[in-house]
Structure formats: structure tokens, C-alpha cells
Chain A
């Protein structure tokens, strides 16, 4: 694996996620201002291209970011290296992507 590319991908995905996390926290504060209900959430998200795009982008960025970080941790602490680790991390990324996009699709 090209470490420079992985580093770049992790940095870029972090740059994408940082503002989205703030937005997400802001929405939480706003959403719970007078109780939280499934109806209220769905009324905001259903049919909304904007929220679909925000959380879709977030899921993609997280699916790129997390496996790269986990790979570094496993290499250092677990002494696991080589192609097996890279394949496992790619699968982990795909899993995150699938679960995340499924969740996004469910509230759209």
C-alpha cells in the first residue's frame, strides 16, 4: 500500500468530516430542543436531498477514514502487516459504507 496516498486520503476525509461533525452536533442540539420523536426526524429527512447528501458524504468520508486509522493501530499494536491486513481493512471500509448508506437510505 502506498502510505503517502493513505495519509492523503485520511487527511482529506478528515477535512470533509470536520465541518460535517459540527453540523451534526448543531442539528442534534436543535432537534432535541422540545423532545425527540421519530416523526419529527423523519419529517426533516424524508425526501430531503440536502440531508441525504450531508449524511451520504459523511458515510463515505468515515468509510475512508476509519479503516486507515484502524490499519495503523493494528500494525503497531497487533504487529499485523501485509496484504491480509490491507484486504481486511478494505472489507471493513466496505462494511462501514454499506451499513452507513443503508441507514441514510432508510430515513430518506
Chain B
């Protein structure tokens, strides 16, 4: 049977080293299958995180051959180079142990920006149509699974601790376009300082496993914040 040469990051906190494992290569094998094989048959002390195994929960993200990926939906055949896999923890987040990172900073930025739906007191005056431009802009970014793959891919996150990151800004843009939201101006205000720290590299869009384009969302935020700075009309009802 063909074997994969797998290197996995082992260690606690900032310290650690790559350790090698030989894992049988199987048809339709995912990177998460490889990690699971190592933990079940080779080294039960390996720490990693997953839940749904079908690309819904966003908990299985790791760095695979230097690129952040959702491992449960990444086939080995696509990620391996010459039968080699190097699997490490996500970048830009503190490592707890082995492949498990502390997601707290990622979600704290989310919380601090209040990037969540705030129901309006009144229903929208006009019914929300699925094909109206604002709804389409919101829908384009709605399927985020909070996996932090974009957060790990983003260089602005790496060099700027104040930067909220692509996922938070993408969510703020969907909310600012949601006519049912009660504080659309507040969402734009929350994006105000952060969105200008995006350098439009598109690393986030390139890496996002669900095919979202946070760069485009952030461009929308920059445009809208610019318009508001020039004294444009406020959006939506304020609470």
C-alpha cells in the first residue's frame, strides 16, 4: 500500500517540533482522515479539533503544506505534494497544543465589533425580496462557518494586532446590507477603523473554503464608510 509521509506539529504553546508519521494512503482520504489515523493508531496523545466532518462546523481548520484549509473537506490527493503532507496549527492564533489553537482572539474581535444580527423593533417597511441588491450583497457573504481559515491566511492580521480580520468585516458587511437589522449604521461604525487596515491582498478570498470573498465585502465597507464620512445619507433604521 502506498504510504504518505506526514509531518505533524507537536508541542505546547510556542514550543514544539515537527514529528514524522507514515500513514497509509487511501482513496478519497481527507487530511482530517490522516490526522485521525495518526491519533487512533500511531499516537493517541495528538491533540486536534473537529466536530461535523462535513464542512459545517468550522472547527477542523489547520495549516496544510503551508496553506490554511478545512481539513475535513480537503482531499489528500489535492493537498499532498509528492505524497508529503506537513500539517500544523493555524497561523495567527496562539497554539494550545499540537494542532489545536486558541480561537478566543478570533471570536473576541467578533464580539468587540458586535458583528451579530440586531433585530429591528419594527419590521422593514417593504418586504425583503431575495433579488434586491442589498439582499444579494448580504447573501453573497452569509455562508461563513467561522473557521478562521481567512484569519490565518491574512497578512494584515499577522502584522497588525488591531485588525479585526476578514471574517468579522465580512459579517459586518452582510449585516449592513440586511434591512431587517436594527443597527446598520452601528455596524458600519464598527467597521470604520478596521476596514481601512485591509490591504486588499485577497489571500482571504483565495483561502475561504466556502468560496466567500471577504475582500469584496471589505471593499464595500470602505466605499460605504467613505460615503458616510462625506456626509452621505444614513442607512436603515437606528434603534
Contact = CB atoms under 8 A, between A and B. Distances in A.
Interface of A: 2-8, 11, 72, 75-77
B41 to A, nearest CB: 45
Contacts of A76: 156, 159-160, 197
A77 B225 CA distance: 25
Interface residues of B, number: 13
A2 B196 CA distance: 11
B18 interface: no
Contact of A4 (B159, B160, B192, B197): B192
Among all A-B residue pairs, the 6 with the closest Cβ atoms: A8-B229, A3-B193, A4-B229, A4-B192, A7-B196, A4-B225
Contacts of A2: 192, 229
A7 B160 contact: no
A7 B159 contact: no
A4 B228 CA distance: 9
Interface of B: 156, 159-160, 192-193, 196-197, 222, 225-226, 228-230
B161 to A, nearest CB: 9
Contact of B226 (A11, A72, A75, A77): A11
9 contacts: A3-B192, A4-B192, A4-B193, A8-B226, A8-B230, A11-B226, A75-B160, A76-B156, A77-B159
A5 B229 contact: yes
A92 to B, nearest CB: 19
Given A76-B159, A76-B160, A3 B226 contact: no
Contacts of B229: 2, 4-5, 7-8
Contacts of B160: 75-76
Contacts of A6: 196
A5 B197 CA distance: 14
B196 A3 contact: yes
Nearest to B155: A76
A107 to B, nearest CB: 34
Nearest to A1: B193
Contacts of B196: 3-4, 6-7, 72
Nearest to B163: A76
A72 B225 CA distance: 18
Contacts of A72: 196
A6 B229 CA distance: 9
A5 B225 CA distance: 9
